[in-house]
Structure 1
Amino acid sequence: MTNTEIVNQDGQQEVYLALRNMFQGQHAHFRQRKRIRSLIQVQPQEHAVHQILQKHGLNTVVSVAHALLGSGVFESEAKARSHFPSIFEPAVQETAVATQPTAPVVPDHTSSLPEAPCHPADAALSDGRGDCGLTTRKILYQGTETMMLIAEQEHKASDASTQTQDNHILDPPSFVCSLGPQHELMTQIQKAMEYMCFAFVERQKPKMLRARKWSCPQAVKLSLWAKEFATRPELFAGARPSSELLQSVESIWHTAVDREPLTVQQLQQLVTDATALSTLLAVPEYQKLFATLSTQLRFIVHDAKCRQRRRAKLESEEADIAKRRLELDHEERQTILRLKELDVGQSTAADSMVSKMVDRLTCEFAGIAAARLETARSSGAEDIGEDTDSDADLDFC
């Protein structure tokens, strides 16, 4: 009997409720047990996750999560509703909304980010699917127990009607964000990370700050913090950031300073790496800030996906209309041709009938004329005979 079979329907529902916030966006596409295990281990464990791990064990939870991911319940609310109908009953939903905790307050520079998008067409397009993408793995932490965070990069076709065995959701389009808002966002992220790094070192090694005469967060740029973390492993009691993660931190600084334009995927990856560093440094207020930022960026990506689905649908409709227009144009040309043929035929037929009428009338008129002429001749002969007799009578007299 497998681990999945050991857990009953209620147990699977517990796993779904505990992990559904974790397996969102790109994470909802995971299908390999190693990736699922790594994500569960690297993410900060909430109370619900900690409870199911204690109750069922890591291996069983990973097996159940693998089965649920394979059935698509994390990426499709319709499938989740079918699999766990009791969760989505109205009474249960109202209770869940009433007991939902208030979101933590974060600094003002994240409050301008958009809320979850709500488009009328989303419901009709929410089941759009795309092709499988190319997945890459990124090691974010190094230590006695290596923990992994998976970064997926998917390159998918734009046809919203295409489906695959993995049932992956369409990637957002690779459009470049407007430089103004992007630069403001990256500047704020850079500033928050510099404050976070300063607070971390101030807690771990205040002597280092005094020796370097770094009296405030503004004294150290983010790229320098990345170099310090790479050359000073003693700052970290346990796991330490990998060189790849620190390179991404430097990229955040360069993007903010050099005003480099980013695609949505690149922006999401940088924010994911910033969130990973905040988890590693464990400065509470900045963990909340970057967790909120990451959630709000997922809304932006969701909005891009919805817009891409609607665009694909409209492009498909446009293609159908163009196809119908060509068919109608062809039918119109055929109809016009038949009308012309009909007009020519009608004219020819009329000409033929008129010609026959003319011939017939000519014949009839000729007959009438001949008859009249014959009659006239006959009448003329009789008149001549009568005149001769009269002359004879006169002579006799």
Structure 2
Amino acid sequence: MTTTQRELEECCFDFAAKWLPSILEDHKWDCAEAAELNKWTSTLVARYGKLPAHAINNDSETPLQDVFLATTVVRHTAVHRLPVTAQGIQKMIQSALQLARTLGDHSRAEGFEGLHLEMESRIRDMELNKNFLENRFDEQLQVISEQRAELDRQEKEALATMLQEDQKNKQLVGSFLEGAVKAIFGQRDEIGIIKSTNMVNSAHEDDRNDRNEIQNVAKCGST
């Protein structure tokens, strides 16, 4: 923007030298750098009434004052080194082009027009590239979303498999424990039954022996 500012200041100086030399004499401006751009434009606007009708080439619908003052942002941006977007630069170049045309500076207007067209091309390329990057990003997001869904499905499947196998393992352990209990306590019950049977049989045998002994004693007494 510094170059654009300098070109516009020279454009204003050349115009004043041709059509309003009294301005240069009154302010003792002997070169374009003698005044800043905003000073040049405000001074020319103030002296507009003293200009011949054919000195200004304002064939646009934009008021002349707006054409002059629109370039103020060029100086402000250049001096303060403000960050500006490509669209912002394009707009400032367009304002510079319109001012150069208005002041009849065809050489500088041609330069600004070439710069304006170059910026249009660059901005168009930037927009196309941005669209490409956004489309690619959307495609990548779609792939990631599908992968995430697949991972979620695998996670659920793995969890279900784990729970199912854990349940089977619990059932198997339960079967083993039940078998062990039957093997251990079932054997004890069988031994207890055998012992009880033997005791009953022994008691019956003792009863028979007692009866036999009583009978023998009775026989001996009768003889």
Q: So what's the TM-score if we normalise by structure 2?
A: 0.67
Correspondence 1:193 to 2:15 = no
| Counterpart in the other structure of 1:293 | 115
Gaps of 5+ in 2: 192-223
Match of 2:47 among 198, 213, 232: 232
| Counterpart in the other structure of 1:317 | 139
Question: Structure 1 residues 347 and 188 mapped into 2: Cα distance closer, same or farther (>3 Å)?
Answer: same
1:52-91 equivalence runs, <5 A:
none
| Counterpart in the other structure of 1:202 | 17
Q: Is the 8 A contact 2:57 2:104 kept in 1?
A: no
Match of 1:261 among 66, 83, 90: 83
Taking the aligned partners of 2:35 and 2:169, their CA distance within structure 1 comes to: 95
Taking the aligned partners of 2:162 and 2:16, their CA distance within structure 1 comes to: 90
The structure whose Rg is larger is: 2
| Counterpart in the other structure of 1:43 | none
| Counterpart in the other structure of 2:30 | 215
Going by fraction, where is helix more abundant, 1 or 2? Answer: 2
Name the SS of the counterpart of 2:84 in structure 1: coil
| Counterpart in the other structure of 2:149 | 327
Question: Structure 1 residues 322 and 235 mapped into 2: Cα distance closer, same or farther (>3 Å)?
Answer: farther
- Offset at 1:346? 2.6
Taking the aligned partners of 1:236 and 1:223, their CA distance within structure 2 comes to: 23
Name the SS of the counterpart of 2:71 in structure 1: helix
CA RMSD of aligned residues (A): 3.5
Match of 1:275 among 97, 113, 116: 97
CA displacement 1:96-139 (0-9 Å, x = unmatched)? xxxxxxxxxxxxxxxxxxxxxxxxxxxxxxxxxxxxxxxxxxxx
Question: Structure 1 residues 326 and 235 mapped into 2: Cα distance closer, same or farther (>3 Å)?
Answer: farther
| Counterpart in the other structure of 2:164 | 342
Gaps of 5+ in 1: 1-185, 370-397
CA displacement 1:217-252 (0-9 Å, x = unmatched)? 222321122112211221552544622222212221
Taking the aligned partners of 2:31 and 2:105, their CA distance within structure 1 comes to: 16
Taking the aligned partners of 1:236 and 1:289, their CA distance within structure 2 comes to: 25
Taking the aligned partners of 1:214 and 1:236, their CA distance within structure 2 comes to: 24
Match of 2:126 among 304, 312, 336: 304
| Aligned-pair identity (%) | 19
Q: Is the 8 A contact 2:38 2:75 kept in 1?
A: yes
2:39 aligned partner, one-letter code: L
Q: So what's the TM-score if we normalise by structure 1?
A: 0.40
2:74 aligned partner, one-letter code: I
Name the SS of the counterpart of 2:70 in structure 1: helix
Taking the aligned partners of 1:239 and 1:223, their CA distance within structure 2 comes to: 20
Taking the aligned partners of 2:108 and 2:163, their CA distance within structure 1 comes to: 81
| Counterpart in the other structure of 1:284 | 106
2:13 aligned partner, one-letter code: F
Q: Is the 8 A contact 1:201 1:235 kept in 2?
A: no
Q: Is the 8 A contact 1:229 1:235 kept in 2?
A: no
Name the SS of the counterpart of 1:300 in structure 2: helix
- Offset at 1:361? 7.3
1:190 aligned partner, one-letter code: Q
Q: Is the 8 A contact 2:57 2:103 kept in 1?
A: no
Q: Is the 8 A contact 1:278 1:286 kept in 2?
A: yes
Taking the aligned partners of 2:90 and 2:39, their CA distance within structure 1 comes to: 23
Taking the aligned partners of 2:182 and 2:12, their CA distance within structure 1 comes to: 114
Number of aligned pairs? Answer: 189
1:155-166 equivalence runs, <5 A:
none
Taking the aligned partners of 2:5 and 2:176, their CA distance within structure 1 comes to: 95
CA displacement 1:19-70 (0-9 Å, x = unmatched)? xxxxxxxxxxxxxxxxxxxxxxxxxxxxxxxxxxxxxxxxxxxxxxxxxxxx
Q: Is the 8 A contact 1:205 1:235 kept in 2?
A: no
Question: Structure 1 residues 296 and 235 mapped into 2: Cα distance closer, same or farther (>3 Å)?
Answer: farther
CA displacement 1:273-330 (0-9 Å, x = unmatched)? 1111122222222012101211222233224313432342244234324433442342
Taking the aligned partners of 2:52 and 2:125, their CA distance within structure 1 comes to: 40
